[in-house]
Amino acid sequence: MTHVATHDDAQHPIRLYFVVWGWLFVLSTCSYLVDYFHLQGHLRYSLILLFMMLKAGLIVAVFMHMAWERLTLVYAILLPIGAVLVFVAIMVLESDYTLLSRTLHPGLP
């Protein structure tokens, strides 16, 4: 983008927002159809994640103007979210351990 530094929201044509709006509708319909057609297993989970990431990306990049924001701000906001993924990994391991304990020792709380 050439107008990074001189970002002025009025430069974006309204059409851009209608296009993104339309895509968000299409993607939401797709994720709803995943459930409607009872897709199962890895296909289901990968499709849910795919549509989720695409929708989140469109909202953040276009509606929240992140695509035109100063790079320092973009990194300052997006990088810390990586910590959430680390937290998820830790809790997946923890949950597996808890489930194993509960399965091996059914009587215990």
Partner 1 sequence: MAQISLRNEADEVRQSSGLASIAADLSSDQRAFKNVSWGKAMMWIFLLSDTFVFSCFLISYMTARMSTTEPWPNPSEVFALEIGGTSFPLLLIAIMTFVLISSSGTMAMAVNYGYRRERVTAAVLMLATAVLGAAFVGMQAFEWTKLIHEGVRPWENPWGAPQFGSSFFMITGFHGTHVTFGVIFLIAIARKVLRGDFDTGRRGFFTSRKGNYESVEIMGLYWHFVDLVWVFIFAFFYLW
Residues that bind partner 1 in the complex, under the rule CB under 8 A: 4-10, 12, 14, 17-18, 20-21, 24-25, 28, 31-32, 34-36, 38, 45, 48-49, 51-52, 55-56, 59-60, 62-65, 69-73, 75-77, 80-81, 83-84, 87-88, 91-92, 94-96, 98-99, 102-103, 106
Shortest Å, Cβ 88 to partner 1: 6
* Least distance in angstroms from the C-beta of 48 to partner 1: 5
Smallest distance, Å, CB 30 to partner 1? 11
State how far the Cα of 109 lies from the Cα of 104, in Å rounded to an integer.
Answer: 12
- Cα distances from 106 to residues 20, 33, 96, 102, 103, in angstroms, run 51, 38, 15, 5, 6
Local structure of residue 30 (DSSP, 8 states):
H
Kindly state the smallest distance separating residue 5's Cβ from partner 1, in Å.
6
Written as six digits, the tokens of 96 are 């597996």
Q: How many CB atoms lie within 10 A of CB 62?
A: 19
